[in-house]
Amino acid sequence: MKIPHITLLTGCTLLVCCSRPQAPKTPAVPVNLFTVKAQTVLYYDKYPANTVALNQVDLRPEVQGYITDITFTEGTHVHKGQELYKIDQRLFQDAYDQAKANLEVAKGNQTMTQQDADRYTYLNSQDAVAKQTLDHAVIALEQAKNSVKAAEQALKIAETNLTYSVISAPFDGTIGISQVRLGNMVSVGQTVLNTISTDDPMGVDFLISEKQLQHFEELKDAKAQPVDSLFSIILPNNSVYPYMGKISIIDRAVDPQTGTIRVRVVFPNPDFSLKPGLSCVLRVHNLDTQPELVVPSKAVVELMGEYFVYVAKDTLARDPKDSTKTNPATIAIQKKVQLGQTVPPNVIIKGGLAEGTRIVLDGVQSLHTGTIISVGPKPDGAKGGKDGMSSDGGSSRKDSTKKGTL
């Protein structure tokens, strides 16, 4: 008797469920697609760099005394041998004069003992003098000669100290701000008077990965095709330095902790506009003529340090009006890619995409894997010409290959 009631209740439940309205289906997201194509791209690899003087020394005194004269203008170019500082010379001049006089006395004593030795040698040949007297005369002559040598060395030392009391430029270069002033006491080897560095040419140092070492070795040996703008630098004010550089030195060893090695490029500096320690960006012209896959940067999504694009995939979707039918549809599939050099407003793809692949150009923030998309009008603000790329996969090749766009 209870079974019919259960059947009736179940039937009512099914009726209620079937009459419940279904959730509205998510509409397709309108997007623009871009067809990936390979093209030749000219660009620069960029490296943080610093300018360095090819030769730089700290000027330190080699004698002690007070600074009595400063004979240069700070921050100017000086020439080799140009007088820069003077240390009080009076004591050194007196010591030199005394050493010179002592040498004259020693020479006079040598002349006198030489005459005695010659005389006693003659008398000894005539058996007119004692042998002991001759021996003493010869010994006295040797001592006189040694005294002359000692006096000559003392004179050299005094002359050197007198010379050291004048500090001169060791080479052509730019001298900095003086660290001492008139009347300051300076100590031997401790007090830094100033710093002087060469200024033309100027070196630019930067670090490269050990993986790039072979390529730069080839550039250094001129095995690669020469390019006028192979090495250039961008100054801190974002202007491009007007002179091109040439690779000079590759360091002797790779740093095992960082896996990098230092490279030096030398640039002409005729107007001395480059100063040591200047921060700049060194640009290395890309010599690879192989076509690259280039896509607009706005099509790339970064997620936890990895990069993705949304690939358009054609599929079949169930008809929302008739569940027994399917209609053609396009869905977005997230795909990981490897990025290369950025060539604003585009970026080079090194891996993860094939030529001819269609990717979503804009509106990627609203997508996830499986989202149904439709190619419709561009969202507001998404102008195809703004980024040098059109929605049908064309590109403004002139902008992307222009050297000065980086």
Residue 400, pLDDT > 50, answer no
Cα first-last separation, the chain: 87
pLDDT at 43: 75
pLDDT band per the 50, 70, 90 thresholds, residue 186: very high
pLDDT at 127: 83
Contact present, 273 and 229 (Cβ < 8 Å): no
pLDDT tens figures, 53-100? 999 999 999 999 999 999 999 999 999 999 999 999 999 999 999 999
Rg, Å, the chain Cα set: 43
Least-confidence region, from 84-88, 201-205, 370-374, 381-385:
381-385
Dihedral sign from CA coordinates of 214, 216, 217, 221: positive
State the DSSP code for 297: G
pLDDT tens figures, 256-274? 999 999 999 999 999 899 9
pLDDT at 52: 94
pLDDT at 18: 46
Residue 160, pLDDT > 80, answer yes
pLDDT band per the 50, 70, 90 thresholds, residue 396: very low
User: In the chain, what are the domains?
Assistant: 25-41+290-405 (2.40.420.20), 45-55+196-285 (2.40.30.170), 90-164 (1.10.287.470)
pLDDT tens figures, 275-293? 999 999 998 887 666 788 8
What is the distance between the alpha carbons of residues 197 and 2, in angstroms, rounded to a whole number? 108
What is the distance between the alpha carbons of residues 267 and 135, in angstroms, rounded to a whole number? 72
Picking from 193, 192, 245, the residue whose alpha carbon sits closest to that of residue 52 is 245
| pTM value surpassing 0.75 | no
pLDDT at 363: 80
pLDDT at 228: 56
pLDDT tens figures, 190-234? 999 999 999 989 999 999 999 889 888 888 887 554 555 688 999
Helix (H) or strand (E) holding 381: none
Query: 357: exposed, middle or buried (C-beta count within 10 Å: 0-12, 13-18, 19+)?
Result: buried
pLDDT tens figures, 35-45? 998 887 777 78
Q: How many CB atoms lie within 10 A of CB 333?
A: 18
pLDDT at 9: 46
**Share of residues in the chain with pLDDT > 70 (%):** 81
Amino acid at 155: L
* Mean of per-residue pLDDT scores for the chain: 82
Residue 397, pLDDT > 60, answer no
pLDDT tens figures, 293-345? 889 988 899 988 899 999 988 887 666 666 667 678 888 899 999 988 787 78
C-beta contacts of 253-257 below 8 A and 24+ residues apart = 254/210, 254/213
∠ CA 386-389-393, nearest 5°, is 155
The DSSP bridge partners found for residue 347 are 295, 342
pLDDT at 25: 58
Picking from 244, 208, 246, the residue whose alpha carbon sits closest to that of residue 45 is 208
Mean pLDDT, residues 149-169: 93
State the DSSP code for 255: B
pLDDT band per the 50, 70, 90 thresholds, residue 17: very low
